[in-house]
Structure formats: C-alpha cells, structure tokens
C-alpha cells in the first residue's frame, strides 16, 4: 500500500508541477483577459493537493494546511472576480486578495509554530532580525520609489505590511530549515513560495506600486511560481513532518544574542532617525508598524526565557527533593515535611502525626535473580501502588534502597470522613488503614522480565506523642518495622 501511494504521489507531483510550469510559461503570451483566467486556474489548482493532504492528516496537525486551504480558496475567488465582473469589482478584488494574502501568511506562521516550537527562541530572534532588515530595505529603497510614483498612503501601508510580515515569516522558516533534522522538500517549497511572493511584492513596489492592477505579465509570473510552490508542498510526503516539532537546540540569552536582539530592535527607529537627520521626510508608518511587530516579539522572547528559567529552577528543586528513580519525595524532603508536621503539632497541641516504615521482603532475591533493571522497575511499581491509595495530607517517600516511609499529617489531611468513622480517621485508625492498604496492594503479583513476581512488606507504625523529634520518630518506626518482620534466613529480605 505504501509503495502504491508513493507511486501515485510521484505521478501527482509530476502532473501538478508540469501543468503549473506550462501555464506559467505561456502566461506572458496571453491577452489580458486570458491572463486573468490563467491566473485564476493556477491559483485554483493549489486547492486540489491541499485538500488531498488534509484527507490523510489527523486533527490538529492539519491546522496550518486548513488555513492554507482557506487562503488559496479566498485568493482563487479574488482572482475570479475580475474575470467575471471586470474593473467594476476592482475594490472588492483588492480586499479579497489582501485577505487571502493575510491567510497565506497566517498559514506560514502556523507552520512555524508547529515545526519550530522546540526552537521558538531561535525562530523569534531570526524573525525580529529579518523584520529589521526589511525595514531598512523599505526606508532606503522602496519608500523613495513609491513616493516618486505618487502612490497613495493606503497602498504604501499595504505594501509595507506585506514586506515586513513576509520577511519576518521567511526568516522564521529559514531558521526552521537550518535546525531541521533532515531536509524537508515541503519546507523548501514553502520557503520558495515566500521568496517568490516577497520578490514579486518588491518588484511591484519598484515598478508600479500597485498590487492587483497594472502589473506586467512577467511580474505576474513570479506570483504564479509562488502559487506553484504552495501547491507542490502538500504533495510531498515530508508535509506530514511540518506539523511535528523539530529538534530543540540549546537556547539561552548570551551576551552576543542579547546584543543581536538589541540591534535588531533599534534598527527600524534608527533608520527613521537617519531619514530625519539627512533632511528626508519621516516615515511614521514604518516606525509604527515596525514597533508593532518587533516589540511584541522581543517581549515574547524575554518572557519565554523567564518561563524557561522558572521551569529549570523548578526542575532543580524537584531533583533536590525527590528520588530520581521513583519520583517520590526523598529522605531530605520527608524529614522537612515531618519536621513541619511536628512543629504544627506542637503549636496546636493536637497529636496528628502518624509515621509508617515499610521495608520490602524478598526484594533482594528478585534483584539478584532478575537484575538491577527489574529491581528498579519493581521499586517504581511499588511506589505507584502505595501512592495510589493515599489521601490528602499523606506523603509516601523513598527513604533509601527498598525502604519507604508514609507520613500521615491529620492537621493537613483529607476532611472527607472515613466510612467507618463519621468523625474522620484518628491517628490510630490512619495507621491501621495505611498498613492494610500497603499489604493489600503488594499482595498482587508484579510482572517483571516476562514472569510474575511476588514480594511482601514489613510495616512498622508509630504515633507522635507531641514531644518526639523527627529522627527519633523515624528510629522508633524502624524498630517497629523490624519487630513486625517475619523470621527469614540470614541474608534474605
């Protein structure tokens, strides 16, 4: 089935590329009316491969392609209106084309967010830098030309938005391309589509300054090539990988990266200031739109770094207070919680602390016979079983080796009454309940290394008297556990 599908994909790709290239090549030879029809056909053809991809792509992974389908549908309708209504519907055509281009950019952004989410820091950095470069090109090259052509302000703003957003998204996709595990033809085609769209926009700005009317046929060919790349991308099998996160490069705000961001952030205001200093008219649109695009991206970048640092600190705190194997609180954390519970007990004058010391019987034999990996798995499953029946205010900790401690603090515990005790568990009842729970969950066999293994547990329980310290309470619980341990041969536990 895979071979058949791959063969069909190759045939479909060849047909689509062949038809698109042919229609693009003959475009300059057609009359104005036929060029409008040809433009419509090429844009509409892209809907077919995108729809075919979406039929094979599950749920959320297809979101960028759904947006792309909507974009190409809107653009096709916009390209159809001049064919049907002629110049009388030019304003509506301009609106549809503008909206379709916005959706096209949104689809590219969605792809970046999908396949570049493991490298969001690098993507943001490159996007900010690309927007800065686009701003410099705009103020140094494009704006003077548009003013020389007497292009109205609204058209200038539309071109400025297209240029800044296109270069920003293109930079983001180039970053994704750079850190990708392997080369993805679908990603390459999307990058080519953005390059053609950006090139066509720049050429339009330098020639006529009009996006939808009065364009020479050779400029329209550039946009047709962009359409062709957009339609060819979903035919590639690598289109599925664009919806999955890429690798996560090492990220951080080094001095060099910080300087890079700083320069990228000030380049647009600096370009505007230089215009003022050399006596040229200012460009408020560039300053406003450039800041509107770059400042939120930089703030998002800084916020991401702050969140990442918080996650790293939380991970370090967790590692310091939890057992690496089972994920349970470790000895240090258990002592800290026990000390806090005993302090509350002294303040309230109410005896509320119960401590159980649990030592596994038969663990050493399993560990010696099946190996350390099986022994580690056994400890993890023991911890999960015991923890599964605990209530709020009860802590299971791995004390060391195959020893576990359960701390029950009634002062912070579950207020739901016990079925057999309308007033809730007393410390004595809590000890009996927890001991019965441990014995019950460990009575079931464990599946390890392809066989069933049974172990037991010796459990010792002590109640606080309001005066004992944490170490003494643990020592007494340990003694109670040994008193409860069955008589076993020497060396067997």
Residue 420: which CATH number?
Answer: 3.30.70.270
493 domain-assigned = no
Overall average pLDDT of the 19-33 stretch: 89
- CB neighbour list of residue 447: distance below 8 Å, 6 or more residues apart: 453
Overall average pLDDT of the 45-73 stretch: 85
Domain boundary among 316, 344, 374: 316
What's the CA gap between 154 and 135, in Å, rounded?
17
Q: Are residues 309 and 365 in the same domain?
A: no
Number of domains composing the chain: 2
Q: Are residues 18 and 151 in the same domain?
A: yes
Residue 471 predicted with pLDDT over 50:
yes
Q: What is the pLDDT of residue 251?
A: 60
Residue 59 predicted with pLDDT over 60:
yes
Q: What is the pLDDT of residue 387?
A: 92
492 domain-assigned = no
Q: How confident is the model at residue 492 (pLDDT cuts 50, 70, 90)?
A: very low
Q: Are residues 206 and 343 in the same domain?
A: no
pTM (two decimals): 0.60
Overall average pLDDT of the 241-268 stretch: 69
Q: How confident is the model at residue 459 (pLDDT cuts 50, 70, 90)?
A: very high
Q: Are residues 225 and 349 in the same domain?
A: no
Cα 73 to its chain centre, rounded Å, is 28
321 domain-assigned = no
Residue 491 predicted with pLDDT over 90:
no
How many residues make up the chain in this entry? 493
126 domain-assigned = yes
150 domain-assigned = yes
- The whole domain housing 344 covers 331-484
pLDDT digits (tens, 9 = 90+) for 115-139: 766 676 777 778 888 888 888 888 8
First to last CA, the chain: 56
Q: What is the pLDDT of residue 84?
A: 64
Nearest to 379 by CA among 370, 394, 367: 367
Q: Are residues 309 and 436 in the same domain?
A: no
Domain boundary among 284, 316, 348: 316
What's the CA gap between 19 and 39, in Å, rounded?
13
Q: Are residues 260 and 363 in the same domain?
A: no
Residue 246 predicted with pLDDT over 70:
no
Q: What is the pLDDT of residue 210?
A: 67
Q: Are residues 61 and 161 in the same domain?
A: yes
Domain boundary among 293, 316, 339: 316
Q: Are residues 339 and 266 in the same domain?
A: no
pLDDT digits (tens, 9 = 90+) for 299-335: 777 777 777 778 888 888 888 899 999 999 999 999 9
Q: Are residues 200 and 336 in the same domain?
A: no
Highest average pLDDT, of 177-186, 237-246, 268-277, comes from: 177-186
- CB neighbour list of residue 361: distance below 8 Å, 6 or more residues apart: 455, 456, 457, 458, 485, 486, 488, 493
Least confident of 57-71, 239-253, 433-447: 239-253
Cα radius of gyration rounded to whole Å, the chain: 34
Q: For 197, left (φ over 0), alpha (ψ -120 to 50), or beta?
A: alpha
Q: Give the HSE-up count for residue 443: Cα atoms under 13 Å, Cβ half-sphere.
A: 6
pLDDT higher for 202 or 308? 202
400 domain-assigned = yes
Q: Are residues 137 and 192 in the same domain?
A: yes
Cα 417 to its chain centre, rounded Å, is 42
Q: Are residues 54 and 129 in the same domain?
A: yes
Q: How confident is the model at residue 423 (pLDDT cuts 50, 70, 90)?
A: very low
Overall average pLDDT of the 401-426 stretch: 67
Q: How confident is the model at residue 476 (pLDDT cuts 50, 70, 90)?
A: very high
Residue 268, token pair as written in the block: 């647009």
Residue 9 predicted with pLDDT over 70:
no
Residue 479 predicted with pLDDT over 90:
yes
Mean pLDDT of the chain: 80
What's the CA gap between 52 and 218, in Å, rounded?
31
What's the CA gap between 460 and 455, in Å, rounded?
17
Q: How confident is the model at residue 442 (pLDDT cuts 50, 70, 90)?
A: very high
Convert the chain into a string of H (helix), E (strand) and C (coil).
Answer: CHHHHHHHHHHHHHHHHHHHHHHHHHHHHCCHHHHHHHHHHHHHHCHHHHHHHHHHCCHHHHHHHHHHHHHHHHHHHHHHHHHHHHHHHHHHHHHHHHHHHHHHHHHHHHHHHHHCHHHHHHHHHHHHHHHHHHHHHHHHHHHHHHHHCCCCHHHHHHHHHHHHHHHHHHHHHHHHHHHCCCCCHHHHHHHHHHHHHHHHHHHHHHHCCCCCCCCCHHHHHHHHHHHHHHHHHHHCHHHHHHHCCCCCCCCCCCHHHHHHHHHHHHHHHHHHHHHHHCCCCCCHHHHHHHHHHHHHHHHHHHHHHHHHHHHHHHHHHHHHHECCCCCCECHHHHHHHHHHHHHHHHHHCCCCEEEEEEEEECHHHHHHHHCHHHHHHHHHHHHHHHHCCCCCCEEEEEEECCEEEEEEEHHHCCCCCECCECCCCCHHHHHHHHHHHHHHHHHCCEEECCEEECCEEEEEEEECCCCCCHHHHHHHHHHHHHHHCCCCCCCCC
Q: Are residues 20 and 62 in the same domain?
A: yes
Q: What is the pLDDT of residue 279?
A: 65
Overall average pLDDT of the 55-79 stretch: 83
What's the CA gap between 116 and 381, in Å, rounded?
36
Cα 360 to its chain centre, rounded Å, is 42
490 domain-assigned = no
491 domain-assigned = no
Q: What is the pLDDT of residue 129?
A: 82
| Sign of the dihedral defined by the CA atoms of residues 367, 372, 378, 379, in that order | positive
């Amino acid at each position: 089935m895979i071979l058949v599908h791959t063969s069909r994909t190759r045939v479909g790709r060849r047909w689509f590329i062949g038809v698109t290239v042919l229609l693009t090549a003959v475009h300059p030879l057609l009359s104005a009316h036929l060029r409008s029809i040809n433009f419509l056909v090429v844009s509409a053809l892209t809907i077919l491969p995108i729809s075919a991809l979406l039929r094979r792509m599950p749920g959320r992974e297809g979101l960028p392609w759904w947006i792309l389908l909507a974009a190409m549908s809107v653009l096709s309708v916009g390209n159809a209106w001049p064919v049907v209504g002629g110049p009388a519907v030019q304003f509506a055509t301009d609106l549809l084309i503008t909206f379709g281009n916005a959706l096209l950019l949104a689809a590219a952004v969605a792809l970046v967010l999908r396949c570049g989410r493991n490298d969001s820091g690098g993507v943001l950095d490159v996007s900010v830098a690309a927007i800065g470069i686009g701003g410099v090109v705009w103020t140094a090259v494009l704006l003077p030309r548009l003013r020389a052509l007497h292009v109205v302000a609204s058209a200038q703003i539309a071109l400025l938005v297209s240029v800044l957003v296109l270069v920003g998204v293109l930079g983001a996709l180039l970053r994704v391309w750079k850190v990708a595990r392997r080369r993805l033809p679908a990603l390459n085609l999307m990058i080519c589509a953005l390059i053609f769209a950006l090139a066509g926009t720049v050429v339009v700005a330098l020639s006529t300054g009009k996006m939808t009317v009065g364009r020479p046929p050779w400029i329209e060919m550039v946009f047709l090539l962009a359409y062709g790349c957009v339609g060819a991308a979903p035919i590639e099998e690598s289109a599925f990988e664009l919806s999955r996160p890429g690798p996560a490069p090492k990220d951080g705000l080094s001095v060099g990266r910080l300087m890079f961001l700083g320069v990228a952030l000030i380049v647009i205001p600096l370009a505007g200031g230089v215009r003022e200093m050399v006596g040229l008219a200012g460009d408020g649109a560039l300053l406003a739109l450039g800041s509107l695009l770059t400042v939120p991206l930089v703030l998002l970048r800084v916020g991401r770094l702050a969140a990442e640092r918080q996650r790293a600190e939380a991970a370090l705190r967790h590692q310091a207070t939890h057992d690496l194997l089972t994920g349970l609180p470790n000895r240090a954390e258990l002592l800290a919680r026990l000390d806090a519970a005993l302090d509350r007990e002294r303040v309230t004058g109410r005896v509320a602390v119960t401590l159980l010391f649990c030592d596994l019987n038969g663990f050493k034999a399993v560990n010696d016979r099946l190996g350390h990996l099986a022994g580690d798995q056994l400890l993890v499953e023991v911890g999960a079983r015991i923890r599964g029946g605990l209530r709020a205010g009860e802590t299971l900790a791995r004390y060391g080796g195959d020893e576990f401690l359960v701390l029950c603090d009634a002062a912070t515990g579950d207020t739901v009454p016990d079925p057999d005790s309308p007033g809730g568990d007393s410390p004595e009842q809590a000890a009996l309940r927890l001991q019965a729970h441990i014995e019950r969950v460990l009575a079931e066999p464990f599946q390890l290394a392809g066989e069933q293994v049974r172990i037991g547990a010796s459990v010792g329980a002590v109640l606080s008297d309001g005066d004992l310290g944490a170490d003494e309470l643990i020592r007494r619980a340990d003694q109670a556990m040994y008193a409860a341990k069955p008589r076993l041969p020497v060396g067997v536990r």
